[in-house]
Structure 1
């Protein structure tokens, strides 16, 4: 039961959080993060029903501090319910997450104000939602879709990824203009299937949007493996006013953490989300998974783009040795926490604690699978 004492503590915490946020820059700034401490974990019940929708597949999260609302995007490709995002309140204490209350669900709408189709109704326009961010300046949301790349002799679907602006009730507003190297091809050029636009973050007081591909473009080199094979993804910079791509940067992935069992099984390491912390610095999540091991290995790096080369005009990273990648420093390996860690796909700053420390909230996508968890992890930030 939600005890009155906890309620009063949470209320005080949230009031303090909002008052603190008014005193800082519009964009969260925590560029001098030195450590993070796990305060608690909270698991959203499996297949929770909310307003006749199934809650799960939560692959991105962002926090509107002024209104104390979290936006959580669902990666359901309109198979269970039409593509959607949730609004929620998360009640935290200095000791962890007490509870979560869903307060709304909205469908992302197409330009004609209809919901997105699924593969049975229109295979060429099925969304694959992955990331979401709230812009308090425009009071709008931006979300990303990975598109689709199915290449078979008699069955080919090529749908480009997208970055889309919507209102907080899901209505379409505009698209960002994606560069040519994010176009899907039937040949091995451009993005890989299900390895495209996974993470995003605003920066520069919401004048800039950074978006990352999860895995390397075909022309940039191989996918990550259990040994270091110089695997690079791209982090793309967009001007929010013009919606155009202005720069791209290389980021080197770590090797896959564990060999799969069997050895021919599926394995992956990629970047599911990024979070601006100020002054060209970002938190970058790397998620490693291998068949035979249910838990994921989640590493969080502090990444700096300050000295990285703008590779926007570099067609192929595997054919170039004249670029400088982003620098990176390990902040956290969640394997060291001593608890089960699932498929972490999103991160956001949360409210400020009574001691003045910022918080981070990570969210895991359970893939609508009974064996997986829709986890929330709360961390205290030390600067």
Structure 2
């Protein structure tokens, strides 16, 4: 989602309610296995591209989803474009080995046009691509692209989850729970431009988690810019059956820049998710205000102990337990010279010593004042 809206003051009651819920979410559980110290991240390399570059007749930009194929070494980046600057598409690319002092800039390899059920490119405005994961079938070894569309609530287009072949052919649409697709009813369902934003496949390959950027209208969110955020629903999908089998509630930070700001509080939302293991999820939170710019923070959320909200119509404070979380990294303190609109995140090839590599990318919103930014981090402690 493009981050840029005016902020309004929230009521004291709403802020206090959210802060209380957030305090509950921050209570980190004692996990069963040892070695539960938080991971440590160190910036390895970064690089930026000016907006407006072209490749194979498309404008390169809006990169909102990122995935790495360990078998081929290729990366895939999903463009958040509703067919305005090219077809609905995904880029294949290569990234250099992250090394200090070496710019982390992509080499574009191909453009994959994502096609609808009729075999043609998706019509303009029918999809709003926001999240991407690479799925590899354990039996056949075939790799496919799992991707999420935020839809277009104002145009009565609901969010959707798709699986496509690497040539862009649509293989299936995976059914989402009705609550995530309920549009057209006042005070219910996803809010415009604040729907599916994150996607991650579990390490065993059996499930995918799909994250809403912000709360459904009925889930304690005030529904106004700058209001204290409600709980974001993150839903688990069984990939064999295509059915949702679990859901949890995640509470973003209500005041990422602190309480005193010229334009009121900046509401955080979930920009991307990634699985650390079967029991822990990494969540990238992102917020923006005209006065302070972009805030991006990485949290670790524990899946154990969170209430299964799949069958709960409306989330009310005190009647469910959100996923506990803890802060891993504030990107403003990571060593990056500039923090732009980070929306994509994926595991990369391991370092020579076996340590994992995390790569993030920004969505430039096709805005000449923004950049496409890649950043790679070494992850210790996993």
TM-score for the superposition, normalised by structure 2 = 0.84
Query: Residue 59 of structure 1: which of 57, 64, 74 is its match?
Result: 64
Residue aligning to 1:255: 254
Partners of 1:377 and 1:187 in 2: CA distance? 40
On the 8 A contact 1:227/1:255 being kept in 2, the answer is no
SS in 1 for 2:268: strand
Residue aligning to 1:110: 116
Tell me how far 1:267 sits from its aligned partner. 4.4
Residue aligning to 1:15: none
On the 8 A contact 1:195/1:213 being kept in 2, the answer is yes
Tell me how far 1:205 sits from its aligned partner. 1.2
Partners of 2:67 and 2:40 in 1: CA distance? 21
Matching of residue 277 in structure 1 with residue 276 in structure 2: yes
Residue aligning to 2:106: 100
Matching of residue 78 in structure 1 with residue 96 in structure 2: no
Tell me how far 1:229 sits from its aligned partner. 4.3
Residue aligning to 2:6: none
Residue aligning to 2:24: none
Residue aligning to 2:342: 344
Residue aligning to 1:5: none
Partners of 2:224 and 2:354 in 1: CA distance? 41
Q: Residues 224 and 97 (structure 1 numbering): CA distance in 2 closer, same or farther, change over 3 Å?
A: farther
Partners of 1:43 and 1:142 in 2: CA distance? 26
Number of aligned positions between the proteins = 339
On the 8 A contact 2:215/2:229 being kept in 1, the answer is no
Partners of 2:84 and 2:227 in 1: CA distance? 37
Unaligned ranges ≥5, structure 2: 1-34
SS in 2 for 1:163: strand
On the 8 A contact 1:61/1:348 being kept in 2, the answer is yes
On the 8 A contact 2:357/2:377 being kept in 1, the answer is yes
Q: Residues 209 and 143 (structure 1 numbering): CA distance in 2 closer, same or farther, change over 3 Å?
A: same
> C-alpha offsets along residues 50-103 of structure 1, whole Å, 9 cap, x if unaligned?
111110010110100110011100011101111101000000243254442111
Q: Residues 358 and 324 (structure 1 numbering): CA distance in 2 closer, same or farther, change over 3 Å?
A: same
Tell me how far 1:313 sits from its aligned partner. 1.1
Tell me how far 1:268 sits from its aligned partner. 3.5
Residue aligning to 1:134: 134
Q: Residues 81 and 149 (structure 1 numbering): CA distance in 2 closer, same or farther, change over 3 Å?
A: same
Partners of 2:168 and 2:183 in 1: CA distance? 26
Residue aligning to 1:332: 329
Deviates more, 1:206-215 or 1:98-107: 98-107
Q: How does 1:1-383 map to 2 (within 5 A)?
A: 34-95=39-100, 97-119=103-125, 126-137=126-137, 138-150=142-154, 157-182=155-180, 183-222=182-221, 229=228, 231-258=230-257, 263=263, 267-293=266-292, 295-318=293-316, 321-338=318-335, 339-383=337-381
Deviates more, 1:280-289 or 1:45-54: 45-54
Partners of 2:235 and 2:275 in 1: CA distance? 13
Query: Which structure: greater strand fraction?
Result: 1
Partners of 1:162 and 1:148 in 2: CA distance? 10
Tell me how far 1:324 sits from its aligned partner. 1.3
On the 8 A contact 1:227/1:256 being kept in 2, the answer is no
On the 8 A contact 1:366/1:372 being kept in 2, the answer is yes
SS in 2 for 1:278: coil
Partners of 1:239 and 1:245 in 2: CA distance? 6
Unaligned ranges ≥5, structure 1: 1-29, 120-125, 151-156
SS in 2 for 1:44: strand
Partners of 1:134 and 1:369 in 2: CA distance? 28
Partners of 2:147 and 2:36 in 1: CA distance? 24
TM-score for the superposition, normalised by structure 1 = 0.83
Tell me how far 1:228 sits from its aligned partner. 9.1
Partners of 1:51 and 1:381 in 2: CA distance? 35
On the 8 A contact 1:132/1:200 being kept in 2, the answer is yes
> C-alpha offsets along residues 236-289 of structure 1, whole Å, 9 cap, x if unaligned?
01100011111110111101323797637x944100100001032011000011
> C-alpha offsets along residues 118-147 of structure 1, whole Å, 9 cap, x if unaligned?
24xxxxxx2100011111224111110011
SS in 1 for 2:366: coil
